[in-house]
Amino acid sequence: MADFEVLLPSRLPDLVIEGLSRVLTIHKLWEAADPRAMIDKVGDRVQGLATSYASGRIDGAMMSRFPNLKIVAHYGVGYDIIDAAWAGAHGIIVTNTPDVLSDEVADLAMGLLLATVREIPQADTFLRAGHWHQGNFPLTATLRERRMGIFGLGRIGKAIAKRAAAFDLDLAYCARKKHEDAPYAYYPNVLDLAQACDILMVIAPATQETHHAVNTQVLQALGTNGILINVARGSLVDTDALIEALEAKTILAAGLDVFEDEPNVPQALIDCPQCVLLPHVGSASQYTRDAMSRLQVDNMVSFAQGRGPVTPVAETPWPPNAA
Ligand code: 8YV
C-alpha cells in the first residue's frame, strides 16, 4: 500500500503521522522549505490529503493541484475549510471525525456556560489577586429558571441538550428541520429562538446560511438577561454586533470558544469583563484528540486499502451512487 501517497498540508498529531506512515507514503508540506516546489514534485502522485483546521482553505483550486486526488480525510467534525460540494462533484471523498468528540465538546459547552453565568474565571482571578481579604466576590447571575435555545441540534447539540436537561434547564432549539425524536420546542429560525430564550447555545455548522446568523437583532431578542455561548465557529456570530451588545448591555454576558479570525481575538472582547474566552478547546483533551486521530487514520487507510471510507460527509456519500 506504500504506493498510496498522502499530503499533509499542516501539522497533525504524532498518532496520525505514525498511523498513516505505517502503511502509506506521506509528505509533510509544513516541513518543506519550498511548499510550492513540493506540490509541483509530488502533486501528480498524491491521492489523499490529510487536513486539519490549520490547513487553510481546501477549495477547488487547491484540490485541482492534485489531479489524482481521491480522498480528503479531515481531523475534526466541522469541515467548513473544505469545499465538500466541489469535491463531491469531482469524485473526491471527504471524511471528518464525528461522534468521537461529541461528549467532549458538550462537556466544554456546559463548563463554559457555567463559567460565564457564575463568573468562575473572574472569581478565580479575584482570589489570586488577594481581594477576598477585602470582602466577598460580588453576587452573580444564575442558571436557575432559564430557558436555553440550542442553535443546531446535530450530534453535539443533542449531547448538550442531554446535559442541560440534567441542570433543569428548559430547552428549545432551531435547526434546518424539526427532529421528531427531540422533545424540545422547535423554532425554524434563530431570531424566534432567541426571542423565546435567555441562553443561546450556538453549535450549528458554519455554512453560507449560518454566516453572521447571530446578529444585532438576534442579540436584542435574547435580551438584557441573555447569555450567548458559541462552541461552533466564529463566523456564526457577527463579532462587531456582539461587542456592541456587550458594551451597551443589550445582553448580559458571552462565553466564546471560537472566533472569526483565530487566533486573533478583538481587544474589545479581551477587555470585556462579561466575557469568558477560550482558545478553541472544545475537543481538546488528549483522550478525545487521540480518538479523532485514530478515526482520521482509519478513514484514509480503509479507503486506500479498498474498503471505503469510514465516516464520509453528507456531500460525498459512499458508495458514490448512494446519494
Ligand atoms: C478541531 C473543531 O478538531 O472538530 C472540530 O470541528 O472545531 C475542533 O475540535 C480542532 O480545531 C483541530 O483541528
96 in Cβ contact with 314 (< 8 Å): no
Indicate the helix (H) or strand (E) that contains 166.
helix 155-166
Alpha carbon distance 204, 175 (integer Å): 8
pLDDT band at 320 (very low <50, low <70, confident <90, very high): confident
Q: Per-residue pLDDT tens for 207-226?
A: 999 999 999 999 999 999 99
- Residue 258, CA distances (Å) to 64, 199, 248 in order: 30, 17, 22
Residue pointed to by grid coordinates 482520521: 296
Closest to 190 in 3D by CA, of 203, 181, 244: 203
pLDDT, residue 26, reads: 98
Q: How many residues does the chain have?
A: 323
Q: Where in the chain is the domain with CATH 3.40.50.720?
A: 5-100+287-322, 102-277
* Percent of the residues in the chain that have a pLDDT greater than 70, as a whole number: 99
258 in Cβ contact with 231 (< 8 Å): yes
Phi, psi (deg, nearest 5) at residue 266? -55, 140
Using the predicted structure, report yes or no on whether residue 300 has a pLDDT greater than 70.
yes
- Residue 193, CA distances (Å) to 165, 185, 203, 249 in order: 17, 9, 14, 20
* Of 2-6, 181-185, 262-266, 269-273, the least confident: 2-6
Ligand 1 in contact with 293 (CB < 6 A)?
Answer: no
Q: Tell how far the Cα of 66 is from the centroid of ligand 1, in angstroms.
A: 25
Alpha carbon distance 314, 323 (integer Å): 8
Indicate the helix (H) or strand (E) that contains 275.
strand 275-277
Q: Tell how far the Cα of 314 is from the centroid of ligand 1, in angstroms.
A: 18
Assign domain 5-100+287-322 to a CATH class.
alpha beta
Just list the catalytic residues: 233, 262, 280
Indicate the helix (H) or strand (E) that contains 116.
helix 102-117
Q: Tell how far the Cα of 52 is from the centroid of ligand 1, in angstroms.
A: 7
Assign domain 102-277 to a CATH class.
alpha beta
Alpha carbon distance 116, 113 (integer Å): 5
Residue identifier of the C-alpha nearest atom 5 of ligand 1: 76
pLDDT, residue 14, reads: 98
Q: What angle do CA 169, 170, 173 make, to 5 degrees?
A: 115
Residue identifier of the C-alpha nearest atom 13 of ligand 1: 53
Q: Per-residue pLDDT tens for 9-59?
A: 999 999 999 999 999 999 999 999 999 999 999 999 999 999 999 999 999
Ligand 1 in contact with 101 (CB < 6 A)?
Answer: yes
148 in Cβ contact with 164 (< 8 Å): yes
pLDDT, residue 322, reads: 60
Using the predicted structure, report yes or no on whether residue 277 has a pLDDT greater than 90.
yes
pLDDT, residue 2, reads: 55
302 in helix, strand or coil? Answer: helix
pLDDT, residue 1, reads: 54
Alpha carbon distance 294, 10 (integer Å): 17
Q: Per-residue pLDDT tens for 121-163?
A: 999 999 999 999 999 999 999 999 999 999 999 999 999 999 9
Mutation to probe ligand 1, out of 12, 100, 101 (largest number of atoms < 8 A from CB): 101
Q: How much is the mean pLDDT over the chain?
A: 97
Mutation to probe ligand 1, out of 77, 233, 311 (largest number of atoms < 8 A from CB): 77
Residue identifier of the C-alpha nearest atom 4 of ligand 1: 76
pLDDT, residue 321, reads: 72
Peptide bond connecting 263 to the previous residue in cis, omega within 30 degrees of 0: yes
pLDDT, residue 139, reads: 98
Using the predicted structure, report yes or no on whether residue 306 has a pLDDT greater than 60.
yes
Mean of pLDDT values over 224-237: 98
Q: Per-residue pLDDT tens for 256-272?
A: 999 999 999 999 999 99
Ligand 1 in contact with 53 (CB < 6 A)?
Answer: yes
